[in-house]
Structure 1
Amino acid sequence: MKLLIVAPEQIPVPPPYGGSVENCIYQIARQIKGNHEVTIVSLHRKSLPRTTKIGHTTIIRVDGGSRSTYLRNAMQRVKANRYDLIQVDNRPSFIHTVKKAFPTTPISLFMHSMTFVSRPMTTTRKAASDLKGASLIIGNSQSLKRTLSSKFPEHKHKIKFVHLGVDLNKFHPSHSKGHKPFHVLYAGRLIPRKGVPVLMKAIKIARKSDPSIRLSIAGGTGNPTYKGYLRRTARGLGIPVSFKGNLSRSRMPAFYRSGNCFVCPSQKHEAFGLVNVEAMASGLPVIASRNGGIPEIVQHGHNGFLIGAYAKPGAFASQIIRLAKDPGLTRRLAKQARIDAVHRFGWGQTADKLIQIYEEQLRR
């Protein structure tokens, strides 16, 4: 199979930092086995070559500037080639232009969240119209599949799901981890929906039971005002918080290994929650909101804890205290978290399932 993947317009593949979608594209492409040829068209940055070849994967990088300029340059660069299937990642609005360039080639839309089929990015009517051009729609969780099917029932028959994965060699447990001080981690974008203030308030409560508890936060924001608000919140609560900033992908494995547990306090629908899988692969029990696709990853009392009342800091605090006071429980959940990541969430499994879906589509 000759597969073309059209990446979004904001960050190159592979991403130097952040870029969850771009990282997924890169990791999945590298794990595709057999005689398949993969071409990724992505944004160009000065530090990167125009073309990179890794095994059976070719990454072509084009200039951006705006979404329409990037897409025009991308199609101009690849339109002379023939592909069996084209995957568009997270940009339903690209489908019309891609279809125009490749009128007879099936298009798969790989969705990573509801962001680009919802306001303020688009209207339901426009999104439904965009989806018409897709032969397949892939969600990254059963939850996202259900949510897309509910919002766009006319497209329900072509919606599938494939869980994302983690690099199990890079993300692995630490071999020497003391109990004190008890180190809680958060990684993700610093935006209101991620619930970082809820976590900070939970740390304030938990420290009354165990004053050794501290918090480290990795992640950036396009809004300096919000980051300032988070810093002021931490100072006002009088809790030890270390803001690590936007760590490069190469530094994230060490960040996870520095902690005793990971907390994901998302306040809105979380389609998958890749950070939870990365934390589990790193041998951390995860405390997360019972929300969206997260319960497909975190199993309560088995490899972590799920919080139903996720708007309440006390609900997170009680489970943080539980782990801080019981090293045996923390070790047991941590060990199981790693086992589950290895058995269920390797990138090879993601790539295999995706290719299986595509081969079935082409046989039809």
Structure 2
Amino acid sequence: MQRPKVAVVTPGSFVIPSPRSSSVERVIACMVPLASHVLQAQIYGIKGTETPDHGDVDGVPCMRYTRGAGYIPEVIADLKRWSPAVVDVHNRPTAAHAIREALPDSRVVLTLHSTTFIREPHLKREDIGRLLLPLDRIVVNSAYLGVSVAANSPAVVRERIVVNNLGIHPGDFLPRWTPVGEAVRAARLDDFGWSGRRIVLYAGRLMPGKGVHRLLQALRRVVRACPDVLLLIAGSAYYGHDRLTPYTASLRRQMRKLRLEKHVQFLDYVPHPALASLYQLADVAVVPSVEDEAFGLVNLEAMAAEMPVVASRIGGIPEVVRHGETGWLVDPSPGEREMAAAIIGLLRQTGLRRRMGEAGLGEVRRRFLWQHSAQRWAQMMLDCATE
């Protein structure tokens, strides 16, 4: 049987593949090649200074175009020549709608990674139904995101929403609770001058919705109970560079006001491949979001490194973190007492950290591998192609 042609269109914001891209490009780069044995896939993205106009992503052909207003029109022109059975557009409803109108003989799927581009200022509520109605599938990464999309969509659109959870390559992370993992960790902590410190890690963008200010507030309480604690903040406001913003500046002011300078290390932007070594150093990962996270891939990354997670009970995070088993889910509380108590409890109990870390890695292997995501995605594309 001939493999159906499937075009995967990236948002056009970052080069693919790249260690400095957003999670959207990372999902595509990790998942699509694993389905190439059943699909004839091509990826469409933007040009970079060090990438050829035509290349590949792990063996999958990748066509690249100039970033900007002409990106989608150029993609459409090439899609018409290639005539794919299915076009999967990632995270851009307006682009999916334009492709739907330009390629009436192809099935068009929209894969959403968050609610960002189906709400203002990117999209007015009254336009959601109009843009989504002609599409053949809307793929979301969590049940929470599916409910969010359905809430503002006609009934016929709701019937086309399907969930495909994200995944991880466990081999990218060295499990903490092994003799090798412990030895490497001890050596690296010594190299950084952090031996004897209990490490808490935040990895992600520095923007108000991610809630790092909550974590700093909680840290003041953690320091009283665990004076040797060190918080590593790995991230910046933007992907790929460390430009200061009012929020990132406010975090540094908050740190000084709370007299936490000896307990906080800002690492700025860390390319994704280097994050694995940071997870290896930490005792606890914290995901303190205050705005709804559709999924929260960082939770899986921590779990793959056998690290317990303290995360906000918000959005799709409870679909990933099992409360009391792979980590703790916390609500906002005065002075962030609940978050602080969860962190303190884990830092004080090595056995609990190990049990939760091992449970987290087991959960990843059972439910959250990229192979799982790729199998579901391939079946969705095959179903669309044969309808």
Could you tell me the TM-score, scaled by structure 2's length?
A: 0.90
Q: Which runs of at least 4 in structure 1 moved beyond 4 Å after TM superposition?
A: none
Which residue does 1:357 correspond to in 2? 380
Is 1:10 the counterpart of 2:13 in the alignment? yes
- Report the alpha carbon displacement of residue 358 of structure 1 after superposing the two structures with TM: 2.3
Aligned mate of 1:173, from 172, 175, 193 = 175
Q: Which residue of 1 aligns with 2:110?
A: 109
Deviates more, 1:186-195 or 1:15-24: 15-24
Q: Give the CA deviation at 1:55.
A: 5.8
Answer yes or no: is the 8 Å Cα contact 1:43–1:70 preserved in 2.
Answer: yes
Identity of aligned pairs, percent? 30
Q: How does 1:177-256 map to 2 (within 5 A)?
A: 177=185, 180-222=196-238, 224-239=245-260, 240-256=263-279
- Count of aligned positions: 362
**Secondary structure at 1:208 match in 2:** helix
The structural deviation recorded for 1:16 is 2.5
What is the CA distance between 1:270 and its match in structure 2?
A: 0.7
Partner residue in 1 for 2:241:
none
SS in structure 2 opposite 1:127?
Answer: helix
8 Å Cα contact 1:221/1:227 also seen in 2? yes
Q: Which moved more, 1:315-324 or 1:93-102?
A: 93-102
Q: TM-score, normalised by structure 1?
A: 0.95
1:301-316 map, 5 Å? 301-309=324-332, 313-316=336-339
User: Structure 1 CA distance, aligned partners of 2:304 and 2:96?
Assistant: 35
CA apart distance, 1:18? 4.0
CA contact (8 A) 1:307 1:315 kept: yes
Q: Contact conserved, 1:18 with 1:246, CA < 8 A, in 2?
A: no
How far 1:329 sits from its partner (Å)?
A: 0.6
Give structure 2 stretches of 5+ with no counterpart: 187-194, 239-243
Query: Which SS does the other structure have where 1:48 is aligned?
Result: coil
Rounded Cα–Cα distance in structure 1 between residues aligned with 2:378 and 2:334: 39
Whole-angstrom distance in 1 between the partners of 2:276 and 2:126: 41
Q: Distance between the aligned counterparts of 1:114 and 1:274, measured in 2?
A: 15
Structure 1 portions without partners, runs of 5+: none
CA distance in 1, matches of 2:333, 2:24: 26
Indicate conservation of the 8 Å contact 1:182/1:324, yes or no. Answer: yes
* Larger mean Cα displacement after TM superposition, 257-266 or 120-129: 120-129
Find the residue that maps to 2:70 and give its secondary structure.
helix
Counterpart in the other structure of 1:148: 149
Does the CA-based 8 Å contact 1:90-1:109 persist in structure 2? Answer: yes
Structure-2 separation of matches of 1:288 and 1:35: 37
Partners of 2:29 and 2:57 within 8 A in 1: no
Q: CA deviation at 1:54?
A: 4.8
Cα gap change, 1:45/1:33 in structure 2, threshold over 3 Å: closer, same or farther? closer
Distance 2:380 2:46 in 1: 27
RMSD: 1.6
Name which of structure 1's ranges 133-142 and 173-182 shifts more when overlaid on structure 2.
173-182
Whichever residue aligns with residue 62 of structure 1, its letter is: Y
Shift of 1:277: 0.5
Contact 2:97 2:135 in 1 (8 A): no
Q: Which residue of 2 aligns with 1:164?
A: 166
User: Residue 15 of structure 2 contacts residue 21 of structure 2 at CA under 8 Å; is this kept in 1?
Assistant: no
Deviations 1:15-74 (A, max 9, x none): 33141111111111121152311101001111111112356511111101x2x3211222
Cα distance in 2 between the residues matched to 1:128 and 1:59? 31
CA shift, 1:76, in A, is: 2.6
Alignment of 1:10-29 (within 5 A): 10-29=13-32
Cα offset for 1:280? 0.6
Following the alignment from structure 2 to structure 1, what is the Cα–Cα distance between the partners of residues 237 and 57? 32
